[in-house]
Structures are given as structure tokens and as C-alpha cells.
């Protein structure tokens, strides 16, 4: 008998990154999604320099983003369907997010 599972996990999910809908593989972190669909920049420093994940384990705090209205570490947050992620963007001339 070939029964297909009724609760099979999706292979991809939809999330919103900075106002744009994207499809990402299920189970990846927010920082991985940013690397796929953005330039990896999560925030800007107090001097306006673009910052991205550095340590990948939540110690450096460089990957701070807003997820569903709450501050989170992108390297420690798994993407969920419908998640809304906002990063800060560089404001110094010559930098783009």
C-alpha cells in the first residue's frame, strides 16, 4: 500500500524580507535567508557601516533583526511560514543594503 503522509513538512516556505515576499527552504535560519535573498546585511553600526552575522552562534550580536515586531538574532532564529523580517539599512553614502 502506497500511502502518502498527510502531515508532510513543506520543502519551502514563504517569508517577508524588508517588505518583499520570498520563498526559502524550510528549516533555514533568518541569516541564511538573508544570504539567499539579500546581501546578508542585517543592520548598520552607529557609524552607518553595514554589519552582518559574524560568529553564527549568537555571541557577537551583529545579526540583530526585527522578526514579527520583536528584536531577534538572525543566526539563532529559524524561518517560519509567514514570518516578517526587517533589517536596518546603511545610511552612509556609497553603501547599499
pLDDT at residue number 6: 55
Question: 84: which 3 cell numbers?
Answer: 516578517
pLDDT at residue number 73: 94
| Residues in CB range of 61: below 8 A, 6 or more apart | 73
Using CA atoms, how far apart are residues 17 and 34, in angstroms rounded to an integer? Answer: 8
pLDDT at residue number 66: 95
Mean pLDDT by 10 residues, the chain (97 residues): 59 95 96 89 87 87 93 95 86 46
pLDDT at residue number 83: 97
For residue 19, give the nearest of 44, 37, 32 by alpha carbon.
37
DSSP H or E stretch at residue 34: helix 30-37
pLDDT at residue number 95: 46
CATH topology of domain 5-86: Ubiquitin-like (UB roll) (3.10.20)
pLDDT at residue number 5: 53
Amino acid at each position: 500500500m502506497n500511502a502518502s503522509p498527510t502531515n508532510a513538512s513543506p520543502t519551502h516556505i514563504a517569508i517577508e524580507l524588508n517588505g518583499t515576499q520570498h520563498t526559502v527552504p524550510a528549516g533555514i535560519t533568518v541569516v541564511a535567508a538573508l544570504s539567499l535573498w539579500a546581501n546578508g546585511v542585517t543592520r548598520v553600526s552607529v557609524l552607518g557601516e553595514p554589519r552582518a552575522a559574524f560568529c553564527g552562534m549568537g555571541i557577537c550580536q551583529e545579526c540583530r533583526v526585527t522578526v514579527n515586531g520583536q528584536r531577534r538574532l538572525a543566526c539563532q532564529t529559524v524561518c517560519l511560514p509567514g514570518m516578517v523580517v526587517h533589517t536596518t539599512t546603511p545610511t552612509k553614502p556609497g553603501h547599499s543594503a
